Structure 1
Amino acid sequence: MVNNRSRGFTLIELLVVMAIVSALLSIVVPRYMHKVDVAKEAALKENLVALRVALDQHYSDKGAYPEKLADLVAQRYLRALPLDPVTERRDSWVPSIREEEGGKKVVHDVHSGAAGTALDGTAFKSW
């Protein structure tokens, strides 16, 4: 006896498997995206801490804050400006400028240049 029926999957079997896979993905993807956002916020906080520590070290060593953030790299307080993980750029940091005695403007703090709000509802620019 020869079986003429070809081996393979029927259309119904393929549709059932695709429905199961799509149901599983609809559960997993939102949780994954939330974890990505949490990781970006944690990295942003760490990078802000690193920048602020470098500013404080510059002040401790030189007795004054730098005139621009690039001075921290030029004077080797940082190897490079850290990446803002929300904007995915190194040049989006917003320095807080203060005028010192004699009219010299210096950077005494730094904030993220990212638009929008964090998961806790605070604006990224206020960090």
Structure 2
Amino acid sequence: MPMPMPSRRLRPLHRLRQTRGFTLVELLVVLAIVALLLTLAVPRYFHSIDQARETILIDNLATVRSTIDKFYGDTGRYPDSLEELVEKKYLRTLPFDPVANSSTAWVLIPPDDAGRGRVYDLRSGAGGSGRSGTPFVER
């Protein structure tokens, strides 16, 4: 007569313990691998965020400068403020400076002739320099 197979409940205790989970050494090895991967990936992530902010800043500056030129072409004068560009529907919203993290930190440059408006150009109000070494306030 064949021997009946023992049920799962009747397994010896030492076998049950071996199949329950991971050992501490296995968990430490996995955590060490994850930490190593993070030390390689995180600096690249933050570098790409800074790069994207700078790219958006350059694009926003170009867009607003072009809009100021269009306003001047239409009216024969420069706007008195950035809000005037929004009010007259030249811009949908105030431009956002992603480096300074504000839409009010712009440095406004007036034209040579004060009677022709107040905003000839604008620059970022953020401190520091970009990838090329050019300070943000000089862009």
State whether TM-score is above 0.5.
yes
State whether structure 2 residue 53 is matched by structure 1 residue 36.
no
The two structures have a TM-score, normalised by structure 2, of: 0.84
3-state secondary structure, aligned to 2:119: strand
Structure 2: 5+ residue stretches without partners: 1-10
3-state secondary structure, aligned to 1:110: strand
Shift, 1:99, TM fit: 4.5
Alignment map for 1:33-72 (pairs within 5 Å):
33-72=46-85
C-alpha distance in structure 1 between counterparts of 2:98 and 2:36, whole Å: 31
Structure 1: 5+ residue stretches without partners: none
Aligned length: 126
Alignment map for 1:1-127 (pairs within 5 Å):
1-4=11-14, 5=17, 7-100=20-113, 103=115, 105-127=117-139
3-state secondary structure, aligned to 2:108: strand
Query: After TM superposition, which residue ranges in structure 1, 4 or more long, deviate above 3 angstroms?
Result: none
3-state secondary structure, aligned to 2:122: strand
C-alpha distance in structure 2 between counterparts of 1:31 and 1:88, whole Å: 21
* AA matched with 1:96: I
Which structure is larger by alpha-carbon Rg, 1 or 2?
Answer: 2
The two structures have a TM-score, normalised by structure 1, of: 0.92
Shift, 1:104, TM fit: 5.6
Q: Which has the higher contact order (CA 8 A, sep 6+)?
A: 1
Q: Once the two structures are aligned, what percentage of the paired residues are identical?
A: 45
Relative to its length, the structure with more strand (as a share) is 1
Shift, 1:3, TM fit: 3.3
For the 8 Å contact 2:107–2:124, the answer to whether it is kept is: yes
* AA matched with 1:66: P
C-alpha distance in structure 1 between counterparts of 2:113 and 2:128, whole Å: 31
For the 8 Å contact 1:58–1:66, the answer to whether it is kept is: yes
For the 8 Å contact 2:77–2:116, the answer to whether it is kept is: no
